[in-house]
Amino acid sequence: MAKMWAGRTAGDTSKIADEFNSSIGFDSRMYKEDITGSIAHAKMLAKQGIIAQSEAETLCDALAGILDDIASGKLLIDKNAEDIHMFVEEVLTARVGDVGKKLHTARSRNDQVALDLRVYLMNRVDELSERVYSLIAALTDQAEQHKTVIMPGYTHLQRAQPIMFGHHLMAYAMMLLRDADRMADCKRRMNVSPIGCCALAGTTYDTDRYFEAEQLGFDEIAMNSLDGVSDRDFVVELLSVISILMMHLSRLSEEIILWSSWEFGFVELSDAYTTGSSIMPQKKNSDMAELVRGKTGRVYGDLMAALTMLKGLPLAYNKDMQEDKEGVFDAVDTAKMSLEVFIGMISTMKVKADNMKKAAQRGFINATDLADYLTKKGMPFRSAYKISGSIVAYCIENGQVLETLPLETYKEFSDIFEEDLYEDIDLDTCVNKRNSVGGTSVQSIESQINYVRRKCNG
Beta-ladder partners of 152: 162
Residue 97, burial from CB neighbour count under 10 angstroms (0-12, 13-18, 19+): exposed
Amino acid at 86: M
Candidate residues 75, 81, 113, 359; the one interacting with ligand ARG per rule CB under 6 A: 113
The window from 106-114, 271-279, 419-427, 430-438 that contacts ligand ARG (CB under 6 A) reads: 106-114
CB atoms within 10 A of CB 79: 10
Question: Rounded to whole angstroms, what are the CA distances from 274 to 141, 248, 293, 294, 347?
Answer: 21, 20, 15, 16, 14
Of the residues 54, 270, 277, 447, only one is catalytic, namely: 277
**Binders of ligand ARG in range 297-326 (CB under 6 A):** 317, 319, 321-322
Q: How far is the CB of 71 from ligand ARG (least distance, A)?
A: 21
Q: How far is the CB of 349 from ligand ARG (least distance, A)?
A: 42
**Binders of ligand ARG in range 358-377 (CB under 6 A):** none
Q: How far is the CB of 117 from ligand ARG (least distance, A)?
A: 8
Q: How far is the CB of 325 from ligand ARG (least distance, A)?
A: 6
Nearer to ligand ARG among residue 50 and residue 309 (C-beta): 309
CB atoms within 10 A of CB 126: 13
Q: How far is the CB of 112 from ligand ARG (least distance, A)?
A: 7
Nearer to ligand ARG among residue 328 and residue 374 (C-beta): 328
Nearer to ligand ARG among residue 4 and residue 258 (C-beta): 4
Which residue, among 155, 317, 307, 302, has the nearest Cα to 228 in the 3D structure?
A: 317
By CB under 6 A, the count of residues binding ligand ARG is: 10
Beta-ladder partners of 267: 351
Q: How far is the CB of 324 from ligand ARG (least distance, A)?
A: 7
For residue 52, cis peptide bond before it (omega within 30 degrees of 0): no
Between 381 and 420, how does the x/- string for binding to ligand ARG read (CB under 6 A)? ----------------------------------------
- 187 and 212 Cβ atoms separated by less than 8 Å: no
Does residue 225 interact with ligand ARG by CB under 6 A? Answer: no
Candidate residues 110, 140, 243, 253; the one interacting with ligand ARG per rule CB under 6 A: 110
Q: How far is the CB of 319 from ligand ARG (least distance, A)?
A: 6
Of the residues 14, 72, 156, 278, only one is catalytic, namely: 156
Candidate residues 109, 168, 209, 293; the one interacting with ligand ARG per rule CB under 6 A: 109
- 419 and 407 Cβ atoms separated by less than 8 Å: yes
Whether 156 is catalytic is: yes
Nearer to ligand ARG among residue 16 and residue 157 (C-beta): 16
The window from 90-98, 109-117, 297-305, 415-423 that contacts ligand ARG (CB under 6 A) reads: 109-117
Q: How far is the CB of 46 from ligand ARG (least distance, A)?
A: 25
Whether 54 is catalytic is: no
Candidate residues 33, 34, 55, 83; the one interacting with ligand ARG per rule CB under 6 A: 83
**Binders of ligand ARG in range 11-50 (CB under 6 A):** 23, 27
Nearer to ligand ARG among residue 23 and residue 243 (C-beta): 23
Q: How far is the CB of 101 from ligand ARG (least distance, A)?
A: 18
Nearer to ligand ARG among residue 3 and residue 411 (C-beta): 3
Nearer to ligand ARG among residue 122 and residue 367 (C-beta): 122
Nearer to ligand ARG among residue 317 and residue 417 (C-beta): 317
Nearer to ligand ARG among residue 15 and residue 319 (C-beta): 319
Q: Which residues of the chain form contacts with ligand ARG (CB under 6 A)? A: 23, 27, 83, 109-110, 113, 317, 319, 321-322
Catalytic residues: 156, 277
